[in-house]
Amino acid sequence: MQNVVFWNGNKSSARQSYETALLQACLKATNEEYGSVCVRVDNTDYPSAEDEANIFASGADILVTVAGNVKFQNKQKIVSGQPLTKGLLGYRLLLVRDQSLSKFSQIKQPRQLQQLSIGIPETWADADLFRHNRYKVIEQGTLDNLFLLLKNGTFDYVALGVNEIEEIFKHRALPIGGISIEPSLMLYYPFPLVFYVNPCNPVLAERIEKGLKLIAINGEHATLFSHHHGDVAQRLNLQNRQRFNLTNPMLPQNMADFSASLLD
Protein backbone atom coordinates (compact mmCIF):
# COMPACT_ATOMS: atom_id res chain seq x y z
CA MET A 1 0.00 0.00 0.00
CA GLN A 2 1.25 3.47 -0.90
CA ASN A 3 2.08 5.92 1.91
CA VAL A 4 1.20 9.61 1.84
CA VAL A 5 3.04 11.87 4.30
CA PHE A 6 0.81 14.77 5.34
CA TRP A 7 2.71 17.54 7.12
CA ASN A 8 0.18 19.20 9.44
CA GLY A 9 2.37 21.11 11.92
CA ASN A 10 2.63 24.80 12.89
CA LYS A 11 -1.10 25.19 13.47
CA SER A 12 -3.80 24.65 16.09
CA SER A 13 -5.23 21.19 16.75
CA ALA A 14 -8.66 22.51 15.64
CA ARG A 15 -7.23 23.04 12.17
CA GLN A 16 -5.23 19.84 12.27
CA SER A 17 -8.24 17.60 12.89
CA TYR A 18 -10.39 19.18 10.16
CA GLU A 19 -7.63 19.25 7.54
CA THR A 20 -6.64 15.63 8.23
CA ALA A 21 -10.27 14.51 7.91
CA LEU A 22 -10.60 16.41 4.64
CA LEU A 23 -7.50 14.84 3.13
CA GLN A 24 -8.63 11.37 4.16
CA ALA A 25 -12.05 11.98 2.60
CA CYS A 26 -10.45 13.06 -0.70
CA LEU A 27 -8.28 9.96 -0.80
CA LYS A 28 -11.10 7.61 0.15
CA ALA A 29 -13.35 9.07 -2.55
CA THR A 30 -10.71 8.25 -5.18
CA ASN A 31 -9.75 4.76 -3.93
CA GLU A 32 -11.50 3.03 -6.79
CA GLU A 33 -9.49 4.85 -9.44
CA TYR A 34 -6.11 5.18 -7.69
CA GLY A 35 -6.05 2.46 -5.04
CA SER A 36 -6.00 2.79 -1.26
CA VAL A 37 -3.26 4.67 0.55
CA CYS A 38 -2.04 4.98 4.13
CA VAL A 39 -1.82 8.56 5.42
CA ARG A 40 0.99 9.29 7.85
CA VAL A 41 0.34 12.56 9.64
CA ASP A 42 3.42 14.54 10.70
CA ASN A 43 2.51 17.24 13.25
CA THR A 44 6.09 18.44 13.77
CA ASP A 45 6.28 22.16 14.49
CA TYR A 46 9.17 23.95 12.79
CA PRO A 47 10.32 27.14 14.51
CA SER A 48 11.96 28.60 11.41
CA ALA A 49 10.26 29.68 8.20
CA GLU A 50 13.15 28.19 6.23
CA ASP A 51 12.56 24.70 7.66
CA GLU A 52 8.87 25.00 6.91
CA ALA A 53 9.55 26.12 3.34
CA ASN A 54 11.79 23.07 2.78
CA ILE A 55 9.17 20.61 3.97
CA PHE A 56 8.90 18.81 0.62
CA ALA A 57 12.67 18.21 0.62
CA SER A 58 12.20 16.66 4.08
CA GLY A 59 9.86 13.99 2.73
CA ALA A 60 6.36 15.50 2.97
CA ASP A 61 3.94 14.74 0.14
CA ILE A 62 1.20 17.24 0.92
CA LEU A 63 0.22 20.04 3.29
CA VAL A 64 -2.48 22.67 3.78
CA THR A 65 -1.56 26.34 3.86
CA VAL A 66 -2.89 29.69 2.72
CA ALA A 67 -2.92 30.40 -1.00
CA GLY A 68 0.08 32.53 -1.92
CA ASN A 69 2.02 31.74 1.26
CA VAL A 70 5.22 33.81 0.84
CA LYS A 71 7.34 31.16 2.59
CA PHE A 72 6.82 28.87 -0.41
CA GLN A 73 7.13 31.64 -3.00
CA ASN A 74 10.36 30.37 -4.57
CA LYS A 75 9.74 26.68 -3.93
CA GLN A 76 8.51 24.15 -6.45
CA LYS A 77 5.03 22.89 -5.58
CA ILE A 78 1.68 21.96 -7.11
CA VAL A 79 -1.10 24.15 -5.73
CA SER A 80 -4.73 23.07 -5.65
CA GLY A 81 -7.14 25.69 -6.95
CA GLN A 82 -10.00 24.67 -4.64
CA PRO A 83 -10.41 26.51 -1.30
CA LEU A 84 -11.05 24.21 1.66
CA THR A 85 -12.80 26.17 4.43
CA LYS A 86 -15.15 28.85 3.00
CA GLY A 87 -12.51 31.47 3.87
CA LEU A 88 -12.98 30.80 7.58
CA LEU A 89 -9.38 31.59 8.55
CA GLY A 90 -9.71 35.12 7.17
CA TYR A 91 -12.37 36.06 9.73
CA ARG A 92 -10.31 37.22 12.70
CA LEU A 93 -11.38 38.01 16.23
CA LEU A 94 -9.19 39.78 18.76
CA LEU A 95 -7.75 38.58 22.03
CA VAL A 96 -6.98 41.47 24.38
CA ARG A 97 -6.04 42.09 28.00
CA ASP A 98 -9.10 42.45 30.23
CA GLN A 99 -8.07 45.95 31.28
CA SER A 100 -8.07 47.00 27.59
CA LEU A 101 -11.65 45.85 26.83
CA SER A 102 -13.20 49.29 27.35
CA LYS A 103 -10.60 50.87 25.04
CA PHE A 104 -11.36 48.37 22.29
CA SER A 105 -15.12 48.83 22.71
CA GLN A 106 -14.68 52.47 21.62
CA ILE A 107 -12.94 51.58 18.34
CA LYS A 108 -15.15 52.54 15.39
CA GLN A 109 -12.61 53.11 12.59
CA PRO A 110 -9.73 50.98 11.24
CA ARG A 111 -7.23 53.79 11.89
CA GLN A 112 -7.91 53.53 15.62
CA LEU A 113 -6.93 49.87 15.56
CA GLN A 114 -3.94 50.60 13.32
CA GLN A 115 -2.51 52.80 16.06
CA LEU A 116 -2.36 49.80 18.40
CA SER A 117 0.06 46.89 17.99
CA ILE A 118 -0.82 43.37 16.90
CA GLY A 119 1.31 40.43 18.01
CA ILE A 120 1.99 37.76 15.38
CA PRO A 121 4.24 34.74 15.96
CA GLU A 122 7.37 34.50 13.85
CA THR A 123 6.89 32.50 10.60
CA TRP A 124 3.12 33.18 10.38
CA ALA A 125 2.01 34.09 6.87
CA ASP A 126 -0.17 37.06 7.80
CA ALA A 127 2.51 39.36 9.29
CA ASP A 128 3.26 40.82 5.85
CA LEU A 129 -0.46 41.13 5.14
CA PHE A 130 -1.04 43.26 8.25
CA ARG A 131 2.00 45.41 7.44
CA HIS A 132 0.68 45.92 3.90
CA ASN A 133 -2.57 47.22 5.43
CA ARG A 134 -0.64 49.66 7.66
CA TYR A 135 -1.18 47.83 10.90
CA LYS A 136 1.53 48.02 13.54
CA VAL A 137 2.99 44.50 13.67
CA ILE A 138 5.20 43.04 16.38
CA GLU A 139 6.41 39.72 15.00
CA GLN A 140 7.72 37.81 17.97
CA GLY A 141 7.62 34.45 19.71
CA THR A 142 5.54 31.37 18.98
CA LEU A 143 1.96 30.28 19.58
CA ASP A 144 3.19 28.76 22.85
CA ASN A 145 4.29 32.06 24.40
CA LEU A 146 2.06 34.47 22.47
CA PHE A 147 -0.36 35.06 25.34
CA LEU A 148 2.31 35.62 27.95
CA LEU A 149 3.70 38.32 25.66
CA LEU A 150 0.20 39.78 25.29
CA LYS A 151 -0.42 39.76 29.04
CA ASN A 152 2.97 41.37 29.67
CA GLY A 153 2.09 44.24 27.32
CA THR A 154 4.56 43.42 24.51
CA PHE A 155 1.69 44.23 22.12
CA ASP A 156 -1.96 45.29 22.43
CA TYR A 157 -3.86 42.42 20.81
CA VAL A 158 -3.71 39.15 18.92
CA ALA A 159 -6.02 38.24 15.99
CA LEU A 160 -6.95 34.60 15.37
CA GLY A 161 -9.21 32.86 12.87
CA VAL A 162 -12.71 32.01 14.02
CA ASN A 163 -12.04 28.33 13.26
CA GLU A 164 -9.41 28.12 16.00
CA ILE A 165 -9.78 31.03 18.42
CA GLU A 166 -12.04 29.23 20.92
CA GLU A 167 -9.81 26.20 21.28
CA ILE A 168 -6.61 28.28 21.47
CA PHE A 169 -8.21 30.63 23.99
CA LYS A 170 -9.40 27.73 26.18
CA HIS A 171 -6.07 25.87 26.24
CA ARG A 172 -3.52 28.68 26.04
CA ALA A 173 -4.96 32.05 27.13
CA LEU A 174 -7.53 31.11 29.77
CA PRO A 175 -5.00 29.33 32.05
CA ILE A 176 -2.85 32.49 32.08
CA GLY A 177 -5.85 34.64 33.05
CA GLY A 178 -6.57 38.31 32.37
CA ILE A 179 -7.24 37.84 28.63
CA SER A 180 -10.60 37.84 26.82
CA ILE A 181 -12.03 37.45 23.32
CA GLU A 182 -13.03 41.01 22.42
CA PRO A 183 -16.83 40.95 21.84
CA SER A 184 -17.49 43.72 19.28
CA LEU A 185 -14.85 43.73 16.51
CA MET A 186 -13.89 41.47 13.61
CA LEU A 187 -11.24 41.74 10.93
CA TYR A 188 -11.69 40.12 7.52
CA TYR A 189 -9.33 39.44 4.65
CA PRO A 190 -9.46 36.86 1.83
CA PHE A 191 -7.29 34.02 3.18
CA PRO A 192 -8.22 30.74 1.48
CA LEU A 193 -6.62 27.50 2.64
CA VAL A 194 -5.55 25.11 -0.13
CA PHE A 195 -3.54 21.93 -0.57
CA TYR A 196 0.12 22.23 -1.62
CA VAL A 197 1.48 18.99 -3.11
CA ASN A 198 5.08 17.84 -3.53
CA PRO A 199 6.09 18.65 -7.15
CA CYS A 200 7.49 15.11 -7.48
CA ASN A 201 3.99 13.69 -6.95
CA PRO A 202 1.74 15.03 -9.74
CA VAL A 203 -0.50 11.93 -9.53
CA LEU A 204 -1.34 12.80 -5.91
CA ALA A 205 -2.13 16.39 -6.95
CA GLU A 206 -4.45 15.12 -9.69
CA ARG A 207 -6.08 12.73 -7.22
CA ILE A 208 -6.68 15.49 -4.66
CA GLU A 209 -8.37 17.70 -7.26
CA LYS A 210 -10.68 14.85 -8.25
CA GLY A 211 -11.31 13.95 -4.62
CA LEU A 212 -12.28 17.51 -3.69
CA LYS A 213 -14.78 17.60 -6.56
CA LEU A 214 -16.26 14.23 -5.58
CA ILE A 215 -16.75 15.11 -1.90
CA ALA A 216 -18.30 18.44 -2.92
CA ILE A 217 -20.81 16.57 -5.09
CA ASN A 218 -21.63 13.83 -2.57
CA GLY A 219 -21.98 16.29 0.31
CA GLU A 220 -19.14 14.93 2.42
CA HIS A 221 -17.17 18.19 2.32
CA ALA A 222 -20.19 20.11 3.62
CA THR A 223 -20.76 17.45 6.31
CA LEU A 224 -17.15 17.66 7.51
CA PHE A 225 -17.28 21.46 7.56
CA SER A 226 -20.51 21.40 9.51
CA HIS A 227 -19.16 18.85 11.98
CA HIS A 228 -16.01 20.86 12.71
CA HIS A 229 -17.23 24.45 12.25
CA GLY A 230 -21.02 24.30 11.85
CA ASP A 231 -22.38 26.97 14.19
CA VAL A 232 -19.29 29.13 14.53
CA ALA A 233 -20.96 32.20 12.99
CA GLN A 234 -23.81 32.10 15.50
CA ARG A 235 -21.64 31.09 18.46
CA LEU A 236 -19.23 33.98 17.99
CA ASN A 237 -21.92 36.46 16.86
CA LEU A 238 -20.09 37.23 13.61
CA GLN A 239 -23.03 38.90 11.86
CA ASN A 240 -23.34 41.60 14.53
CA ARG A 241 -19.70 42.55 14.94
CA GLN A 242 -18.14 45.67 13.51
CA ARG A 243 -16.03 44.46 10.58
CA PHE A 244 -12.85 46.01 9.20
CA ASN A 245 -11.76 44.68 5.78
CA LEU A 246 -8.12 44.26 4.82
CA THR A 247 -6.62 43.44 1.43
CA ASN A 248 -4.41 40.41 0.83
CA PRO A 249 -1.48 41.19 -1.50
CA MET A 250 -0.33 37.55 -1.42
CA LEU A 251 -3.38 36.14 -3.22
CA PRO A 252 -2.32 34.40 -6.44
CA GLN A 253 -3.80 35.58 -9.74
CA ASN A 254 -6.16 32.61 -10.04
CA MET A 255 -7.71 33.47 -6.66
CA ALA A 256 -7.85 37.25 -7.03
CA ASP A 257 -11.66 37.12 -6.96
CA PHE A 258 -11.88 34.84 -3.93
CA SER A 259 -14.49 35.86 -1.41
CA ALA A 260 -15.35 33.97 1.76
CA SER A 261 -18.77 32.29 1.77
CA LEU A 262 -19.10 31.62 5.49
CA LEU A 263 -21.62 34.42 6.14
CA ASP A 264 -23.56 34.07 2.88
**Would you mind telling me the total number of residues written for the chain in this entry?**
264
- Whether the per-residue pLDDT at 13 is higher than 90: the answer is no
Question: What confidence tier does 143 reach under pLDDT thresholds 50, 70, 90?
Answer: confident
Contact (Cβ atoms closer than 8 angstroms) between residue 16 and residue 43: yes
* H or E segment to which residue 79 belongs: strand 78-79
Asked if 190 contacts 66 with a C-beta cutoff of 8 angstroms, the reply is no
User: Worst-scoring range by mean pLDDT, 163-167, 202-206, 244-248?
Assistant: 163-167
| Confidence (pLDDT) at 125 | 81
Do the Cβ atoms of 67 and 251 come closer than 8 Å? yes
Rounded mean pLDDT, 119-140: 93
Q: Read off the DSSP letter of residue 178.
A: S
Q: Where in the chain is the domain with CATH 3.40.190.10?
A: 2-85+191-230, 88-188
Domain 2-85+191-230 has CATH 3.10.450.50: no
Q: How far apart are CA 113 and CA 244, in angstroms?
A: 10
Average pLDDT over residues 55-82: 94
| Mean pLDDT, residues 41-47 | 92
Which CATH number does 88-188 carry? 3.40.190.10
Q: What was the pLDDT predicted at 123?
A: 80
Provide the pLDDT for residue 144: 87
Q: Which residues contact 186 (CB under 8 A, 6 or more apart)?
A: 91, 92, 93, 238, 241, 242, 243, 244
What's the confidence (pLDDT) of residue 38?
A: 95
% of the chain with per-residue pLDDT over 90: 83
pLDDT reading at 208 higher than 90: yes
User: Which 3 state secondary structure label does DSSP give 40?
Assistant: strand
- Segment 87-99 shows an average pLDDT of 96
Cα separation of 243 and 264, whole Å? Answer: 15
Give me the pLDDT at residue 104, please. 98
pLDDT tens per residue, range 95-125: 999 999 999 999 999 999 999 999 999 888 8
Strands 91-97 and 185-188: antiparallel
> Does the pLDDT value for residue 262 go beyond 90?
no
pTM of the entire predicted model: 0.89
